[in-house]
Amino acid sequence: MSKVIAERNFTVEASRERVWRLIGKVIFSSLPGMEQVEILDESNFRALLRMKMLGGKLDMKIRGEIVDVLPPESFSVHLILEGPGRLFSMKQKVTFTMTAVDGGKTAVACKTTAEEMGIFFRTLLQGQARDFALSTFEAMEKRLQELA
């Protein structure tokens, strides 16, 4: 059962093709706390996400796979987040859809859904996952506006 964690829609003053070319770089440059990003191949990556939680620090391992690629319309990223010692994990799907609108603009829709979430994530980290996704989407919008 999936649950929507965060959504954001915005418009960029650039063609859909230009947004498509920029969005991958913009995503990686907009991820707060993301370190040690390693591109494994054209569809897979892994990284370390450093978070602050309950007054302490928490390092989450992230594995990602780019799926459902329909250039220049949409793509999704499956993410698996694991906490220290694999005591808790979460599977997410983040979907990006780009739609051409009048005047050479592009509407961008971003949505994060939790596909599997343990009790620990539901209790303590769901709010942080939502805040992280929303801040990432906001940073992406700002960066795409700058580059457009």
Strand pairing class (34-39; 105-117): unpaired
Contact between residue 141 and residue 30 where contact means Cβ atoms under 8 Å apart: no
Distance CA 88, CA 103 (A): 46
Contact between residue 12 and residue 100 where contact means Cβ atoms under 8 Å apart: no
What are the structural domain ranges in the chain? 3-147
What phi and psi values does residue 88 have, to the nearest 5 degrees? Answer: -150, 150
- Which CATH number is 3-147's, of 3.40.920.10, 3.20.20.70, 3.40.50.720, 3.30.530.20? 3.30.530.20
Per-residue pLDDT 10s for the chain (148 aa) are 688 999 999 999 999 999 999 998 899 888 878 888 899 999 999 999 887 766 778 788 999 999 999 999 999 999 998 877 766 778 899 999 999 999 999 999 999 998 876 666 566 667 777 888 999 999 999 999 999 8
CB count, 10 Å around CB of 62? Answer: 19
